[in-house]
């Protein structure tokens, strides 16, 4: 823990009252820059759930909605702009009921199934292995396959790996060729089950550990394709699961997953995505920031078994989880996405950047029409959410060198006695030498004068953009798709190595320094 202190953001509680404090200071520490922010921190997640796949990503070649080989043209172009580095599929809970052979071959011959986890919807399997991996090629994104351990077999997953990645004269490679794909795909990330403690089989960690070792043994590398095998990890605060997996599996896995949702609670209502008060808003951000403590505790356990950090931690599900929108199908998890969700995205990414010595991937849930979506669709209409805009504003940090920083700012005591800093920030330096600073003012009422010490980096020019809204509950609808969008930001001054920023209330600002 002490070795990681220089990466921590320090927020100091001022002696004066919150109402009198309207300033903050940030100091960059480029001399302590040791870690690159993996682009996979900006990963996405697409599950067969609601209209994430059907209607969100895929409409079919014969649809009246403009498409490229069945993929929605508008969504495809929006995701290209987002620079999605990795896409996880087919679940989620769906993965452990999915049998991949049902999703290959002529579409008219593919059997239907009931999506038991998510509303009992009939799944026609028209979007399967070829459709997903070809989408990844179009997006130039790395596929992350979640394999069926809960209701599948070792043979089934082993044959799927062969089908996707073998270029030899093997039965599964030849079956792939019969289905129209001659050359094997490159598939790096392989999840061995999902939430095996719950919807993926209700297993004990000791049992799953042995099961993982068996599955991983038979999922082989073919023709130069090197699998990065990921064990199904813990939910939130289940530190024993991580302890058992590190003890029983260790370096036989390349990565261990973790899931963390910002959710009010599992008993009854999770709260409305759009109808909330100020107390709800501040509590949400406090719960969001608690992911840092959760990450630290799981990382500390992993450090006890793996001091050289050979096994990565992958937060492959995260985001907000609210009640489904009124009038939508139960079990489809469709929720609106407000400026509050954008705040959760920015604060979370700021935290993730600090732990990339161990944290190597994060996948927000989900890419379209489900939970904290990047994109919402309705027929031929598409809207980009505030969370989408945060990811686009932040994608400059992908594969850039993280610049540790300290913050001196005020804090607020929120429900459950959480301390919520009013300012959040992160910074990085890209390969061209440009420095990017992302700033968030979570205060609903007060702007902040933020002074940033650039530590003699000899930066001479600053440009920026800001994402803000009149109300924290504002969102982009199909009738008003541009209610919350980034605009140019100029309220800053760069002089003598200090950048002074007048940061508006409830805003997210991205600054490029050259």
Level-2 CATH architecture, domain 39-399: Alpha-Beta Barrel (3.20)
* Domain range list for the chain: 2-35+403-513, 39-399
Active site residue 137: no
Strand (E) or helix (H) holding 231? strand 228-235
Among residues 241, 476, 498, the alpha carbon closest in space to that of 373 is found at: 476
Q: Decide if 139 contacts 79 (C-beta within 8 A).
A: yes
User: What is residue 411's predicted lDDT score, i.e. its pLDDT?
Assistant: 93
Read off φ and ψ for residue 12, nearest 5 degrees.
Answer: -95, 130
Distances, alpha carbon 34 to alpha carbons 38, 383, 456, 461, in Å: 13, 38, 18, 25
**How far apart (Å, rounded) are the C-alpha atoms in residues 230 and 247?**
15
Distances, alpha carbon 153 to alpha carbons 97, 148, 156, 199, in Å: 11, 8, 5, 16
pLDDT of the chain, 514 residues: tens digit per residue: 333 333 334 444 333 334 444 899 999 999 999 999 999 999 999 999 999 999 999 999 999 999 999 999 999 999 999 999 999 999 999 999 999 999 999 999 999 999 999 999 999 999 999 999 999 999 999 999 999 999 999 999 999 999 999 999 999 999 999 999 999 999 999 999 999 999 999 999 999 999 999 999 999 999 999 999 999 999 999 999 999 999 999 999 999 999 999 997 555 579 999 999 999 999 999 999 999 999 999 999 999 999 999 999 999 999 999 999 999 999 999 999 999 999 999 999 999 999 999 999 999 999 999 999 999 999 999 999 999 999 999 999 999 999 999 999 999 998 777 889 999 999 999 999 999 999 999 999 999 999 999 988 889 999 999 999 999 999 999 999 999 999 999 999 999 999 999 999 999 999 999 9
Handedness of CA 93, 199, 149, 126 (dihedral sign): negative
Distances, alpha carbon 299 to alpha carbons 360, 397, 477, in Å: 12, 22, 39
User: What is residue 68's predicted lDDT score, i.e. its pLDDT?
Assistant: 97
**How far apart (Å, rounded) are the C-alpha atoms in residues 253 and 232?**
10
Active site residue 140: no
User: What is residue 267's predicted lDDT score, i.e. its pLDDT?
Assistant: 54
DSSP 271-311: --SS---HHHHHHHHHHHHTHHHHHHHHHHHHHHH-TT--S
Catalytic residue among 142, 195, 292, 324: 195
Among residues 103, 111, 86, 98, the alpha carbon closest in space to that of 49 is found at: 98
Q: Decide if 454 contacts 30 (C-beta within 8 A).
A: no
- CATH code for the part of the protein at 2-35+403-513: 2.60.40.1180
What is the four-CA torsion angle of 331, 332, 336, 341, rounded to 10 degrees? 80
Catalytic residue among 35, 40, 142, 317: 317
**How far apart (Å, rounded) are the C-alpha atoms in residues 344 and 451?**
23
Handedness of CA 76, 81, 82, 87 (dihedral sign): positive
**How far apart (Å, rounded) are the C-alpha atoms in residues 419 and 459?**
34
Among residues 9, 56, 21, 29, the alpha carbon closest in space to that of 332 is found at: 56
User: What is residue 269's predicted lDDT score, i.e. its pLDDT?
Assistant: 75
Q: Decide if 320 contacts 262 (C-beta within 8 A).
A: yes
**What number of other Cβ atoms are within 10 A of residue 309's Cβ?**
13
**What number of other Cβ atoms are within 10 A of residue 31's Cβ?**
11
Strand (E) or helix (H) holding 500? strand 498-503
Strand partners, 362: 315
Distances, alpha carbon 220 to alpha carbons 31, 157, 294, in Å: 42, 10, 33
């Amino acid at each position: 823990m002490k070795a990681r202190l220089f990466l921590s953001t320090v927020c100091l509680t001022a002696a004066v009252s919150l109402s009198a404090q309207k300033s903050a200071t940030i100091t960059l520490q480029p001399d302590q820059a040791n870690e690159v922010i993996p682009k996979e921190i900006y990963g996405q997640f697409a599950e067969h759930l609601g209209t994430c796949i059907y209607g969100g990503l895929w409409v079919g070649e014969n649809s009246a909605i403009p498409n490229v080989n069945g993929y929605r043209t508008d969504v495809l172009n929006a995701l290209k702009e987002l620079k999605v580095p990795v896409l996880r599929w087919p679940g989620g809970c769906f993965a452990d009921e999915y049998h991949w052979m049902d999703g290959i071959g002529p579409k008219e011959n593919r059997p239907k199934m009931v999506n038991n986890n998510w509303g009992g919807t009939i799944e026609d399997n028209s979007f399967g292995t070829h459709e997903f991996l070809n989408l990844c090629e179009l997006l130039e994104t790395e596929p992350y396959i979640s394999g069926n351990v809960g209701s599948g077999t070792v043979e089934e997953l082993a044959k799927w790996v062969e089908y996707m990645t073998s270029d030899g004269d093997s039965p599964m490679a030849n079956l792939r060729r019969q289905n129209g794909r001659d050359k094997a795909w490159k598939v790096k990330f392989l999840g061995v089950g999902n939430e095996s403690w719950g919807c993926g089989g209700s297993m004990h960690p000791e049992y799953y550990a042995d099961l993982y070792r068996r599955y991983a043994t038979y999922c082989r590398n073919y023709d130069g394709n090197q699998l990065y095998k990921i064990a199904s990890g813990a939910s939130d605060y289940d530190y024993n699961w991580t302890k058992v997996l590190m003890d029983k599996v260790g370096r036989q896995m390349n990565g261990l997953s973790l899931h963390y949702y910002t959710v009010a609670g599992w008993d009854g209502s999770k709260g409305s995505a759009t109808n909330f008060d100020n107390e709800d808003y501040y509590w949400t951000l406090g719960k969001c920031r608690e992911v840092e403590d959760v990450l630290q505790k799981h990382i500390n356990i992993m450090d006890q078994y793996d001091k050289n950090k050979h096994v990565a931690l992958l937060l492959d599900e995260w985001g907000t989880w609210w009640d489904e929108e009124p009038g939508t199908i139960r079990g489809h998890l469709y929720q609106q996405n407000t400026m509050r969700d954008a705040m959760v995205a920015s604060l979370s990414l700021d935290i993730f950047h600090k732990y990339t010595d161990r944290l190597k991937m994060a996948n927000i849930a989900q890419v379209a029409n489900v939970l904290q979506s990047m994109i919402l669709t309705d027929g031929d209409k598409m809207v980009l959410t505030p969370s989408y805009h945060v990811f686009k504003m932040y994608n400059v940090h992908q594969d850039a060198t993280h610049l540790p920083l300290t913050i001196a700012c005020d804090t607020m005591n929120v429900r459950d006695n959480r301390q919520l800093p009013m300012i959040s920030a992160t910074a990085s330096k890209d390969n061209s030498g440009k420095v990017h600073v992302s700033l968030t003012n979570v205060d609903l009422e007060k702007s902040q004068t933020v002074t940033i010490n650039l530590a003699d980096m000899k930066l001479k020019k600053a440009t920026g953009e800001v994402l803000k809204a009149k109300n924290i509950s504002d969102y982009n609808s199909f009738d008003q798709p541009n209610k919350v969008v980034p605009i140019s930001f100029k309220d800053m001054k760069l002089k003598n190595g200090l950048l002074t920023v007048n940061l508006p209330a409830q805003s997210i600002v991205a600054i490029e320094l050259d």
